[in-house]
Amino acid sequence: MFSFALPWLLLLIPLPVPMRYLVPAATQTKARALKIPFYKDIVDIAQQTYGQRLIATGLRRWLVYFMWLLLVIAAAGPQWLGKPVNLPQTGRNIMLAIDLSGSMQIPDMSLEGRRVNRLAVVKNVAQQFIKQRVGDRVGLILFGSRAYLQTPLTFDRKTAESMLNDATIGLAGAQTAIGDAIGLAIKRLSKQPQGSRVLILLTDGVNNAGAVAPIEAAKLAAKNHIKIYTIGIGADRMLVPSIFGAQAVNPSRDLDTKTLQQMADISGGLFFRAKNTQALRQIYQRLNQLEPVSTQKSTFRPITPLYPWSLALALLLSVYLASRKIYWRKFYKSSDTTHTGQEQPES
């Protein structure tokens, strides 16, 4: 719809009318005699009918008033408001730290009835979690022997899903640098507003690489108001073939649940244990409840300014009036040259 940004300025439209009567006209000094070299031209102009002169003067006056009207309208800020667009308010800044160490290839999980490794399940469940975080910024850190920023915090959830899907085991090394992953997350999340900083760290092992100890990293995260949710993934029982037949082993014997619990407690988060695919899905559903998606929306209406049109028209009118004035000045000068030598009466 059409509107004005400053509608009260429209009150200035009738201002020239009272100014015409309140402000005294400029006085002209009278000389005893004035020589007019283009007397004949003035006589010719004077021979015009009274109606013609009245129309020319009135037209010029109305053009000036119309210019004033256009300038006032431009100052009032005419604009066209588009249809309202609902935008989700910025919610949380969630960084996902995913373990890509060699142990993530252990096939102790199942997905749709098939035996798969741990990373395949993490990709499937975490991608569903990312899809649900409408209005949140999501980032991705992959860590093994070192930690790498795979995807910076972004509203583009499809890109984050795609980058997670491209992750492969061993990409960041065969060991596990949990402390370095937390340190990298702190570097990225500390730039975001307080109260919206969340780190979800998933691992299946123990910190055995990197330059930063996990507990020290968790303390630093707490100082930066970053909440850490830790997830320990891996089954606690798995049958493996041996010379004596199938033998039950614990594939998660290296999982350091004590340290993961301490990190969560220090930062104000929670520790979760995912022994199978269903448990991992429930954990991410719980995270959605603990860190709910913002449901509030802000309304945005695109604004198209229209003042350039009125300004352009006022400029064209001013050029027209100025060109007419210049034309008559040149006309008078040429008349002065033409009638040089003729008798110049005094008036």
Residue keyed to tokens 């009638």: 339
202-232 pLDDT per residue, tens: 999 899 999 999 999 999 999 999 999 999 9
Collapsing DSSP to helix, strand or coil, 219 comes out as helix
> How crowded is residue 266: how many other Cβ atoms within 10 Å of its Cβ?
18
Q: Domain limits of the chain?
A: 2-22+33-82+303-338, 87-299
Q: Cβ neighbours of residue 286 under 8 Å, at least 6 residues apart?
A: 272
- Of 175-179, 199-203, 241-245, 271-275, least confident by mean pLDDT is 241-245
Q: Examine the pLDDT at 151 and tell me if it is beyond 90.
A: yes
Q: Cβ neighbours of residue 161 under 8 Å, at least 6 residues apart?
A: 127, 130, 131
244-301 pLDDT per residue, tens: 667 777 888 889 999 999 999 999 999 999 999 999 999 999 999 888 876 555 666 7
Domain 87-299 -> CATH class: alpha beta
> How crowded is residue 40: how many other Cβ atoms within 10 Å of its Cβ?
13
pLDDT for position 328: 56
**Which residues in 155-194 are b (16+ Cβ under 10 Å) and which e?**
eebeebbebbeebebeebbebbbbbbbbbbbbebbeebee
pLDDT-derived band at 16 (thresholds 50, 70, 90) equals confident
In this structure, are strands 271-274 and 227-233 parallel, antiparallel, or unpaired? parallel
pLDDT-derived band at 317 (thresholds 50, 70, 90) equals confident
